[in-house]
Amino acid sequence: MSGITENQRKVIRGQLGREPRCLLKVSAKCRYGYPVVLKTAPLIVHDNDEFEVFPSLYWLSCPRRKEKVAEIESRGYIGELEGELASNPKLKKEYLKNEQSYLEEQSKLLNEEEKEFLEKKGARDALTRGIGGIESDQHIKCLHLHLAHQIADANVLGRLLQERFKFMDCPSDDVRCEKFV
C-alpha cells in the first residue's frame, strides 16, 4: 500500500469493514480528505502458485455513497440502465468506449511476469471482460463500480448516476469517516 498513510489505512479498514486487498492508491477523496474511491491491482499471486483475478479496478469506499448506491440498486435501477443501454446507441457507444479504457488501464497495471503467469494458467481472458469482470455488454454488474469509475476517471453510467441522484459528501455535522481515525 505504497503512498497510503496510516490514517488512510485506518479509514479504509473502517469503510470496508475489513483489510483492503490489492490496494494501489486512493483515487479520489471527499472534501474532508477521506477516501472515496480506491484503485486496486487486477491480480493477486499467492506463494503457492495460486492466484486470484481481481477485476474491480476502482472500488467505492465512501460509506455514504455506498449506501445510496445500494438503495438505488435495490429499487431495480440496474434494469432501467440496461434498458437505456439497449435502446440508446449513443449511450451504448460511450459505455463501450469507457469499458475499453477501463480494460486498457487494468492491463497497464500488469507487469510482463504477471501477464506470462496468466497466460501459463490459461486465465488471461479473465481480465479482458467488462467493468467488474462482467462478460456481457448487455448487462451491468454493479452500480458501485460504475460510480467509482466515474469519480476516478470517466464512466457514462456513473455520470448518469451522479446527475440523476446527486451524490454528496457527508454534511459537516455528520462526517461518517471521522470515527475510523
| pLDDT digit string, tens, across residues 5-35 | 999 999 999 999 999 988 999 999 999 999 9
The beta strands (E) that lie in the chain are given as 23-29, 35-40, 43-45, 51-53, 58-60
- Range 68-76 average pLDDT: 97
pLDDT band at 66 (very low <50, low <70, confident <90, very high): very high
Q: How confident is the model at residue 2 (pLDDT cuts 50, 70, 90)?
A: low
- With a CB cutoff of 8 Å and minimum separation 6, the contacts of 111 are none
Query: What is the average pLDDT across 164-178?
Result: 97
Helices 77-87 & 89-108 angle (0-180, nearest 10): 110
Please name the amino acid found at residue 114: E
pLDDT for 149: 96
> What predicted TM-score, i.e. pTM, was given to this entire model?
0.92
Distance (Å, rounded) from C-alpha 22 to C-alpha 120? 21
> Has residue 80 got a pLDDT over 60?
yes
Summarize the confidence of residues 51-58 as an average pLDDT: 85
| Domains of the chain, residue spans | 6-168
Q: pLDDT per residue over 108-167, tens digit each?
A: 999 888 888 888 888 877 777 778 777 777 779 899 999 999 999 999 999 999 999 999
